[in-house]
Amino acid sequence: MTRWLAPALALGLIGSPLAGAESYSSPANASAFLVVIDEQGETLFQAAMPEGARWCLQWHHSVEKFAVLDCYRNHAGVMELERSHQPDFAAGLGHIHGRGVQVSDGQGGYWIEDIDEAVPGNQYVLRVGAPAVDHRLVWQREGEAHSVSLSQRAAGERVTLRLTQDAPPSGATSQ
């Protein structure tokens, strides 16, 4: 497995969660897409996420206000939770023994590495937080950082994040 612990700041995070991730093809050449769908079935966002692509869901902890990351990858068409970054053991956060390996991030927080859990059905439901929580997707493509705020698009709404092998409908925001 490729290690992508980050030595530099990117996207305002404690190190880039995506540094060293393989570069991958443009949306026109993609075989898989990360799609965010609202409760009415409308596509709010889509991005190419072919085999090997990685992305993270970042948000600000509601009590402590620091950034938390859950990082995923497309592993042979399966959405896998690969790793998680947590700056501290605040309310609701922590490492569960036997689920990945906890390592220091060198800045007082920690990564939980090697989680490598398939997300059931290649999708999960998220209640998007308020702008202060700022749920956002972050990823890199060809060395360039990308980010989209779900809180700006759907604060307080229930959305589904899905890795699909089907081309999403046109009309949604695409990166």
In tens, the pLDDT along 135-151 reads 999 999 888 999 999 99
Q: How far apart are CA 77 and CA 75, in angstroms?
A: 5
Q: What is the mean pLDDT of residues 4-33?
A: 42
**pLDDT for residue 122 is more than 70:** yes
Q: Are strands 117-118 and 144-149 parallel, antiparallel or unpaired?
A: unpaired
Q: What is the mean pLDDT of residues 47-64?
A: 87
In tens, the pLDDT along 87-112 reads 766 555 555 566 677 787 787 777 88
Q: Give the start-to-end residue ranges of the domains of the chain.
A: 27-161
Measure the CA angle with vertex 71, ends 69 and 77; round to 5°. Answer: 160
**pLDDT for residue 153 is more than 50:** yes
Structure tokens at 18: 């995506």
